[in-house]
Structure 1
């Protein structure tokens, strides 16, 4: 691969952080749904947190958030934002989901967030297994992601060569129905609630 995904996102981070959210109505809807399940005593984990916006918005609603991204530049931006807003209950760390240490039973999370990230992971089943190990029984998993498989075939065909050449990160061509089915099947087989 010519461009390692972490290097790609390190390069893109400052520009990405400066861009406003394109669909503010949808983003606010996702925030509202997630917030309706969060409790002041909750500990939360977010993977693929990017520049930290979502974690920082939810921080006043919960006890603590551990938020990770494999891009060191994204985490630097997230820490700058937390410092500017004087938010101290979010810990941002450079890590992949696979490398994050598995918590002991008493320190698992009440909620896990994987927002706009599942389509960028190398293996959805492995990611869901990792998420399950992080969750307390009855915890919630919140996710929204791009379902490239539901979009025009031309979009997928246009992006695929750039991913294959290593010029862009590879994107899983997820479909909404298949992704929801995978989560439901995984949820029932693991005995945890995925939302």
Structure 2
């Protein structure tokens, strides 16, 4: 695993991040509804940058597999401690490494791609 810029920050703030309410709940609910409308029960979904797992926990029960990844071990620790549908799996992985365990029918990356050091290489790796 390479050194992700900002990883120390995310590890340090993970507990505070998890305790914070969603800043714009209406927008978040709209996003969830939009994503859910594009998912099929048979889909294998990869989420890159899952943070503390909120989206995976909300949508993961409606698909065959939801593999939620984050580079931060602290974020994954928090996500993994929450009750989850049987189809949800949390794993520590950087964006470019998250595709392990594929292929996937759907890839989600919410509020993340601007943080990836080499976006072009990451997108090429994801689009296998």
**Aligned counterpart, 1:122:** 117
Structure 2 segments unaligned to the other structure (5+ residues): none
Structure 1 residue 79 and structure 2 residue 77: aligned?
no
**Correspondent of 2:96 among 92, 95, 98:** 98
Q: Secondary structure at the match of 2:67?
A: strand
**Which is greater in Rg?**
1
Q: CA deviation at 1:69?
A: 0.5
Task: Report the CA distance between 1:98 and its aligned residue.
Answer: 1.9
Match of 1:33 in 2: 34
Q: Alignment partner for residue 89 of structure 1, among 87, 90, 94?
A: 87
Work out whether 1:8 is the aligned partner of 2:6.
no
Instruction: Give the drift of 1:101.
Output: 5.2
Following superposition of structure 1 onto structure 2, how do residues 37-186 of structure 1 map, counting pairs within 5 Å? 37-81=38-82, 85-100=83-98, 102=100, 107-133=102-128
Higher helix share: 1
TM-score where L is the length of structure 2: 0.90
How many residues were matched structurally? 124
Scaled by the length of structure 1, the TM-score of the pair is 0.60
Separation in structure 2 between the aligned mates of residue 47 and residue 66 of structure 1, nearest angstrom:
9
Q: In structure 1, how many angstroms separate the alpha carbons of the residues matched to 2:30 and 2:15?
A: 25
Deviation of 1:86 after TM superposition, in Å, equals 4.5
Structure 1: how far apart are the matches of 2:56 and 2:84?
A: 13
CA contact (8 A) 2:7 2:72 kept: yes
- Give a deviation string over 1:120-142, Cα, whole Å, max 9, x none: 11122122112211xxxxxxxxx
Q: Which residue of 2 aligns with 1:145?
A: none
Q: What stretches of structure 1 of length at least 5 have no aligned partner? A: 134-195
Q: Which has the higher contact order (CA 8 A, sep 6+)?
A: 2
Which segments of structure 1 move beyond 3 Å, counting only runs of 4 or more? 100-103
The 1-side partners of 2:24 and 2:99 are apart by: 34
RMSD of equivalent CA atoms? 1.5
SS in 2 for 1:115: coil
